[in-house]
Amino acid sequence: MVLRCVVVALVAMGCPSSGSDHEAQCKAGSGLSCFEAGLALAKAGGPGDRIEQLYQRGCELDDGRSCFNLATLLREGQQVPQDLSRARSLLERGCQKLDGPESCAQLGTMQVRGQGGAQDVSAGEANLKKGCEGGTVQACVNLGVMYGGDEHGEPKPGHALQYFMKACQGDHPMSCYVASGILDKGQAGPPKPDLAKEMAQKACDLGHEDACSGPMR
C-alpha cells in the first residue's frame, strides 16, 4: 500500500525531464527545451558542434538565453571555434528582438570595442544602458568605466558615479570602492565623506582588500 502511494505521488508530481526529452521537445519546436538541452550538454562537456546546434535552434525559436549562451561560446572560443562576427549577430537578435539584458550588455561591449564588426560607441553605450537597466551588473560597471574617462570618451564623473553606485547595489566590490573614492574626493560634486565611508565599508565587506586597508577605514 505504501509503495503504491509513493508511485501515485511520483506520477502526480512528474519526473525531471532527461536530456533526451529536452532534445525531443527542442526538435518539436520548444526554444526553452533547446536551451535546457544545450546547457546540460555543455555542463557535461559534450561535443561542441551539438551544443552549437541546440543553442542555434533555441535562438531561432526566440529563446533569448540560447542566443546569449551561444554568442558567449563563440566570443570566447569555448567548445566551439571563435567567431566574433557571428557572436555579435546573435547578440543583436537577443537584445533587439528578444530584449535580453545580458545580450544587450555583451553586444554593447562588443560595439564599443569594435569586436565582430564596426566600432559604434553611441550604439554600444545605448545597449549597455539597456543591459544595466535590465539588471546586468557588468553593464553598469562598463558604463562607469566609460564615463570615468577611458579611451572612448571624455570623463563624465557624475555619470560614472551613477553607474558605479548602481553596480555597487548589485554587490560589485570594485564599483563600491571606486564610488567611495569619487564621493570622498568630490569629483562629482561636493565631497560626501559619510557616504564615501559607507561605500568603502561595503566594498570591504564584499572582499575588496584595498577598501579594507584604505584611509576611509
Q: pLDDT by residue (tens digit) across 116-162?
A: 999 999 999 999 999 999 999 999 999 999 999 866 667 899 999 99
Query: Whose grid coordinates read 553605450?
Result: 125
Statement to judge: residues 24 and 126 lie in one domain? yes
- Asked, for residue 13, whether it belongs to a domain, the answer is no
Domain that holds residue 160: 137-217
Mean pLDDT of the chain: 89
Q: pLDDT truncated to tens, each residue of the chain (217 aa)? A: 443 433 333 334 444 455 679 999 999 999 999 999 999 999 999 999 999 999 999 999 999 999 999 999 999 999 999 999 999 999 999 999 999 999 999 999 999 999 999 999 999 999 999 999 999 999 999 999 999 986 666 789 999 999 999 999 999 999 999 999 999 999 999 999 999 999 999 999 999 999 998 665 5
Q: Show which of 135, 166, 186 is a domain's final residue.
A: 135
Give the residue from 117, 121, 125, 158 showing the smallest Cα distance to 142: 125
Statement to judge: residues 49 and 121 lie in one domain? yes
Statement to judge: residues 35 and 131 lie in one domain? yes
Quote the CA–CA distance of 27 and 70 in Å, as a whole number: 18
User: pLDDT tens-digit profile of 103-117?
Assistant: 999 999 999 999 999
Statement to judge: residues 27 and 64 lie in one domain? yes
Statement to judge: residues 102 and 118 lie in one domain? yes
What is the CATH classification number for the domain harbouring 111? Answer: 1.25.40.10
Alpha-carbon separation of residue 28 from 24, 98, 185 (angstroms): 6, 21, 59
Please give the grid coordinates belonging to residue 4: 503504491
- Asked, for residue 51, whether it belongs to a domain, the answer is yes
Question: Letter for the amino acid at 44?
Answer: A
Tally of domains within the chain = 2
- Asked, for residue 55, whether it belongs to a domain, the answer is yes
Quote the CA–CA distance of 74 and 85 in Å, as a whole number: 9
Question: Letter for the amino acid at 185?
Answer: K
Please give the grid coordinates belonging to residue 9: 505521488
